[in-house]
Amino acid sequence: MKEVVIASKNSGKITEIAAALAHLPVKVVSLADFGEVAEAVEDGSTFAENALIKAKYYSNFTGKACLADDSGLEVDALNGAPGVYSARYAGENASDSENNKKLLENLKDEDCRTARFRCSLVFYDINGEVLSTDGVCEGVLLNEPRGNGGFGYDPLFLIPNLDKTLAEISINEKNAISHRGAALRSMAEKMAVYLK
C-alpha cells in the first residue's frame, strides 16, 4: 500500500480526497501528520502551476508521493477574480467568512452572477513521475450564504439545476458534481494505471 500525502491540512478537503481514492491501493495521509511544515510558496500564475509547486515541495519534505490541488473561484463579473487568490482574497490568513464578505461586497452592483470553481490536481511521486488533471463546476453566486456544509465559497455557490448551494448537499453529491470531484475522478483513473 502506497502512502500518499495530501498537501493540505483542511480536513474537509482531505475527507473528499480520501473518499475518491478509497478503491485504490493507497493510504491517504494528511500534511497535518507531519507537524510544523513551512508552507510552499504558491507563486504560480495558474492553478496548475501552483498545484505542481505544492506537490513537489511537500513530496520532497515528506519523502513520500504527494497529491496537491490548487483550486478557486472564477467570477465572470470580476474578470476571473479571485482566481488563484481565492483562499486569501480578503488578505493572508483570511477566514472563509471574510473572503465571502469581500466577494459579496465586490459583487453588490453586478447583475451577472455566473462563476465557476476550477481545480487543478497534481500527483508527484518521489521518482519524479507527474500526473495532472483538471475539473470545472459551473454555477451562480447568491447574495447571501445558504447551507452549513462544505467550506470556502460553497455557501454562496448555487448549482442551478439542483437549486442548492454546494453547502446544502452531501459530500457524495458534492463529489459527483464538483470541480475537485471531476479532477479526482480523472486522477483516480490515472493513478490506478500508474500504481498497477
Catalytic sites, residue numbers = 70
Number of H helices, E strands in the chain: 5, 7
Length of the chain: 196
Q: Pick from 117, 146, 143, 120: which is nearest to 131 by CA?
A: 120
Distance CA 24, CA 188 (A): 8
Instruction: Give the up-direction half-sphere exposure of residue 177: CA atoms within 13 A in the CB hemisphere.
Output: 19
Query: For residues 63 and 3, is the Cβ–Cβ distance under 8 A?
Result: no
